[in-house]
A and B are shown apart, each in its own frame.
Chain A
Amino acid sequence: MVDVSQHKLVPEHTLLDDEAVEDVLQEYNVKKTNLPKIKRKDPALPEDAEPGDVIKIVRNSRTTDKAVVYRLVIE
């Protein structure tokens, strides 16, 4: 099987722990469900991600150095 994370189109995906998720939600003043979504069967997802988890994505941005976004794992 091909290692998806090595592809240049795929940014780094990391699983956030509960504490970090709280910080993120507080910072943006949003609910979990307001975040953009990512499907559980997404090939770029870390293996142990479950629906309800929040994934931190660090993109190589075209307009700045790094852009950090978050996605909520859904079914």
Chain B
Amino acid sequence: MKFKLKIIHWLTLLWLLLIVFQHEVLFQYLSLWFGYAKLFFVDFSEAIDVLSLKLVNVILSLKLFVFLPALYIIFRKKWIFLQGNLNFSYALLSLLIWILIFAPIITDENPEFSKNLAVTKLLPPFSSVKILHLAGELESSQSEKEKFHMRLNQTVKPAFNERIIFADSVIVSESVVYFQKTQKSELQKNELLLKNGEPFIQNKYFLLGTDEYGRDSFARLIYGTRISLFVGFGAVVLSFIIGIILGFIAGYSGGIFDTVLNRFTELFLSFPVIYLIVLILALFGSSLFSVIIVLGISGWMTLFKIVRGEVVSIKQRDFLISAESIGLKKSQLLAKEILPVILAPVIVNLVFLFSNVILAEAALSYLGLGTGNLYPSWGAMINSGQEYIYKAWWMIAFPGAALILTLFAANSSGRRINKIINPRLDK
């Protein structure tokens, strides 16, 4: 029998790759996790106090990294989609979700970290700079809490660190001389962190180069994937909820509700929605959440039509009456009778909606109305990259490619699912 590559093989490969390349990071996170567990028992209130988004993010990713394989082994019979045959678009979509979950493990850089612009600004891919570590104050008599704080700051890198210096080149002799562009500076050895008596100097590699703030493009791309997918999922879920609820209400109650909601839907359909989005974002300000909400409330129309159509047709059939007579609630009716019937077209629609939303977010960012430069979304990266297209092609090329590939994967998966559900086209 011929061996066929399945989605699970791909995921296993990704998992192993992370272990091979990021074992140091994984190890650090693990020790942080244990440190936190320890703190949890020693000083509960302090443990709650230090709980931050960053910490949750890291620990959650780590937990999933450890437990997902175990879960798979337990539930492998149920998770049949993982046994599906691998193709390009599925591989890409699963990679994206992989990045979404494991971003902090894939890169431990902070996407906002920026320092010594003279050295780090607009570096091409695969370039490297030297890092000098300044000596820290000697910590003494540490409590559990202080220890944990220190470990946290070392592991989860903050967006700012005054203890390190980036330099183009370093010469170590009696003292340490380092160069930043044309500027030459000098430090005494005892001002630096020492390792075996010699100053501890590291190389820092920028895999995909840096942007105009000297921030690591690779880290930004990885976290940008998170933002873009987050916007995509958020808006799709919102559209889904609005579409389903309004569709059900309109179809079920009929009458004036139905007419009004239909008019409303037509209103949304009869107008290039992008202007409405631009209008709202420009007038009321744009943030991550306003973008999600606006995109969410501009995409529910088709779902509404699907659900409403199905509800109306079911209403005329007998089993609804029997379902009502045995006392099913409306919500149960929705969940048990209607959703399963419309599931297929809804899923196809959601996939297309997802690609629309990602595209729309990028387009909005391109117009300067997106999530802004505060979050590293792909659209924002393309937007800032466009300004530097002649000097730093990498700034626009990588997020641009990521966007095209994602849209392609989403569209082609959508078509594929559509074909499976509607075999009409396939003879």
A, B: real partners: no
Interface, chain B (partner A; CB < 8 A): none
Interface, chain A (partner B; CB < 8 A): none
